[in-house]
Structures are given as C-alpha cells and as structure tokens.
Amino acid sequence: MAHMNVKAQVDQAGVFLSKVAVEVNDFLNEATLSSLKRLNPEAEAYYCDILSTLRKLAVYSEDAAAVCRKIGQQQTFPQQAAQQTLHRIYHQCIEEFFTPKKDTWYENSRSAYTGKSSIVFHHEVSAEVKRLFSSLEKDFLTMREELEYTTSHQQMKMV
C-alpha cells in the first residue's frame, strides 16, 4: 500500500512541477526588470531578487519533474529513490516557494484565517507578479500537504 501511495505522489508531483515550470517560465519569458521596477524604481535590487528566485524555482521544478517522469517509467518502482525525490521536491521546490532563501517574500501563516493570499511581498509588486503567485499558491499548498507526511517520515528514517 505504501508503495502505491508513494508512486501516486511521485506522479502527482511530476504533473504539478511540470505545470509550475511552464507557468514560471512563461512569466519569466515575458517579464523584464524595466517593467517590474516601473512601480517602484528604487527597488531594482528587490525585483532582481524576485526574478532570480523565480528562475531557480523554474529550474528546480523542471529537474524534479524530469526525475519524477524517469521514476514512473522504470520497470520496477524504486521506492527509496522515489521517497528521496519527494523529500528533495519538498525542500527545494515547496519550501523555496513559501520561504525563499533570498527572503524576497514570506508566507503569512494567518492567511488561512483571513482568506487572503499567503504570500506577502516586502515591496509593492506588479499585477503580473501577483497573478503568477495567486495562480501557483493553491497548488503549492495542496502539494505541501501531500508531501509533509512523506518528508517527515523520510527524516525520521534518516535519524
């Protein structure tokens, strides 16, 4: 049973990450630093950090989606490799979305009570950035819930 649950999670994560990569790359292909800083010209470094973090998220998502596809195509399901992949996805993609290393935005933990977006930016951002995060947020929340148990279980095994 656990074998099938992990396989389903790998498949679900692969679809999710492919979608994330497409959406983020579409945004990055259209966005320019000039268009972002029109709202607040003094915050150029901040917008550079947003774009940098989104590029990293796109790369991590593309790589992890490819690994998920590869795992799903194998004749015998590699249980341990799949669990390690899910663990990596949780830490590199999910956590990076909610709490990026560059601290360009943060998660409002009270958002579930207020009905507002859980992502809060340190400076005012363009409507396009807000739309991107709004479209990604629900799926990231769902995927985080799916992977929290697997990740905590994997950490307990490592200890």
> Average model confidence (pLDDT) for the chain?
88
How far is the C-alpha of 56 from the C-alpha of 91, rounded, in Å?
13
pLDDT digits (tens, 9 = 90+) for 70-112: 998 988 989 999 999 999 999 999 999 999 999 999 998 776 6
Give first-to-last CA distance, the chain, whole Å: 24
Domain positions in the chain are 2-158
Measured CA to CA in angstroms, residue 150 lies from 26, 35, 104 at distances of 30, 40, 28
CA nearest 7: which of 76, 60, 100, 59? 76
User: For the whole prediction, is pTM greater than 0.75?
Assistant: yes
Which pLDDT score is estimated for 13? 97
Higher per-residue pLDDT: 136 or 110:
136
pLDDT digits (tens, 9 = 90+) for 3-45: 678 899 999 999 999 999 999 999 999 998 888 888 788 889 9
* Helix residue ranges per DSSP H, the chain: 2-30, 33-37, 44-73, 79-89, 95-98, 111-114, 127-158
Measured CA to CA in angstroms, residue 77 lies from 10, 15, 121 at distances of 11, 18, 41
> What is the arithmetic mean of pLDDT over 123-129?
89
Phi (first) and psi of residue 119, to 5 degrees = -90, 125
pLDDT at 142 over 60: yes
